[in-house]
């Protein structure tokens, strides 16, 4: 089975749209970009379109090419203090002379849509969205007792994915570039999440027939998009997400839903403060 992301993403967006309308919420997302990376421009546009479809106000802040880390920091501080801004996204990557790590930590945790800051209220959107895909196609308790392998240990995808799968009672192995024999682990896996940025890294001979593969990778080769799994040869023996059209749309839907969750958290916090 091909695990399409769009129906899952559409369901999340529909729920979000209805909730915003019913509660008459006024929410706003601000996306800060360097304005120099063409792929970033596409991702930012997708996020803004998804916000628009749910009635969330949105602003794209394209920083001038000459901007320094300090200029970005000033913009983040401004948005942190702006009561109209519910959520902030720093669209990565930024130019190499900008200190991304330092800037991410400047985003107020209650406005951190991506879930990238150390004090984030919620996990990063991509692994959170992957759980939603698995719940949609496999059912809520499906992960319990499964052997899961995550390939890639980045702080925004692989590592939080391993934590989330563990929280669902899967037995998780985290593989990475220094894992000597990945097939040893992947052959025994019921579910594999591959997030390496290496096109077609996961091959048919590395997996068990009937397993479930979630392909996070986005690799642009000669203008075409490829995932980290060899989709052509895996689709007949596994359940697998396509690239494009799998994890990507779900990440966007998750971050739109996240804006509502952040708003709820802030309101909850305020009402708790009032009763103290
Ligand atoms: P990253 O470069 O930060 O991390 C890659 C990880 O893969 C590292 O931990 C590294 O150890 C591991 N790795 C690299 N080569 C390997 C190999 N040969 N064998 C085993 N492990 C290997 O990347 P990231 O930010 O985690 O992103 C991974 C991929 O997912 C990229 O293609 C990125 O564009 C994509 N991505 C997609 C979405 C989405 O919404 N679809 C979101 C985030 C990232």
Mutate to test the pocket of ligand 1, among 42, 132, 197, 199 (most ligand atoms within 8 A of CB): 197
Name the packing angle between helices 125-138 and 6-22 (round to 10°).
110
Identify the pLDDT of residue 251.
98
Give tens-digit pLDDT for 218-265: 999 998 999 999 999 999 999 999 999 999 999 999 999 999 999 999
Residues with CB under 6 A from ligand 1: 126, 151-154, 156-158, 175-177, 179, 195-198, 201, 216-219, 247-248, 251
Tokens, residue 85: 């801004």
Residue 129 has pLDDT above 90, yes or no: yes
Query: Alpha-carbon distance 193 to 46, whole Å?
Result: 23
Residue 12 has pLDDT above 90, yes or no: yes
Give tens-digit pLDDT for 24-73: 999 999 999 997 888 888 999 999 999 999 999 999 999 999 999 999 99
Mean pLDDT over the full length of the chain: 97
Q: Domains, the chain, ranges and CATH?
A: 18-110 (3.40.50.10860), 125-249 (3.40.50.720)
pLDDT band at 207 (very low <50, low <70, confident <90, very high): very high
pLDDT band at 275 (very low <50, low <70, confident <90, very high): confident
Identify the pLDDT of residue 39.
84
Cα–ligand 1 centroid distance for 230 (angstroms): 15
Please report the atom of ligand 1 found closest to the CA of residue 247: 41
pTM (2 d.p.): 0.96
Cα–ligand 1 centroid distance for 214 (angstroms): 13
Identify the pLDDT of residue 276.
79
CA nearest neighbour of 47 among 211, 207, 251: 251
Mutate to test the pocket of ligand 1, among 40, 129, 154 (most ligand atoms within 8 A of CB): 154
* Protein residue with least CA distance to atom 19, ligand 1: 177
Identify the pLDDT of residue 35.
79
- What own/partner pairs with CB < 8 Å and gap ≥ 24 does 230-235 have? 230/200, 230/202, 230/203, 230/204, 233/203, 233/204, 234/202, 234/203, 234/204, 234/207, 235/2
Identify the pLDDT of residue 36.
81
Cα–ligand 1 centroid distance for 246 (angstroms): 16
Mean pLDDT over residues 151-178, rounded? 98
Identify the pLDDT of residue 38.
84
Cα distances (angstroms) measured from residue 272 to each of 26, 76, 241, 267: 21, 27, 42, 9
Identify the pLDDT of residue 274.
84
């Amino acid at each position: 089975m091909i695990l399409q992301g769009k129906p899952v993403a559409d369901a999340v967006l529909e729920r979000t749209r209805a909730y915003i309308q019913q509660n008459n919420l006024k929410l706003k997302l601000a996306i800060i970009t360097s304005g120099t990376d063409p792929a970033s421009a596409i991702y930012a546009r997708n996020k803004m379109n998804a916000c628009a479809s749910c009635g969330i106000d949105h602003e794209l802040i394209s920083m001038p090419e000459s901007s320094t880390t300090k200029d970005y920091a000033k913009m983040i501080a401004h948005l942190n203090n702006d009561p109209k801004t519910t959520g902030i996204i720093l669209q990565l990557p930024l130019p190499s002379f900008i200190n991304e790590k330092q800037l991410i930590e400047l985003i107020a945790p209650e406005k951190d849509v991506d879930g990238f800051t150390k004090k984030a209220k919620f996990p990063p959107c991509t692994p959170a969205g992957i759980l939603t895909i698995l719940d949609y196609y496999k059912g809520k308790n499906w992960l319990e007792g499964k052997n899961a392998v995550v390939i890639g240990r980045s702080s925004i995808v692989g590592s939080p994915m391993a934590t989330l799968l563990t929280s669902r009672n899967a037995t998780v192995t985290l593989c990475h570039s220094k894992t000597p024999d990945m097939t040893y682990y992947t052959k025994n896996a019921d579910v594999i999440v591959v997030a390496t940025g290496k096109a077609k890294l996961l091959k048919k001979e590395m997996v068990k027939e009937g397993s479930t593969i979630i392909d996070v990778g986005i690799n642009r080769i000669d203008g075409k998009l490829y995932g980290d799994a060899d989709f052509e040869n895996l689709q007949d023996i596994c359940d697998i997400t396509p690239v494009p059209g799998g994890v990507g749309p779900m990440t966007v839907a998750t971050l739109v839903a996240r804006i509502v969750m952040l708003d709820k958290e802030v309101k909850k916090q305020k009402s708790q403060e009032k009763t103290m």
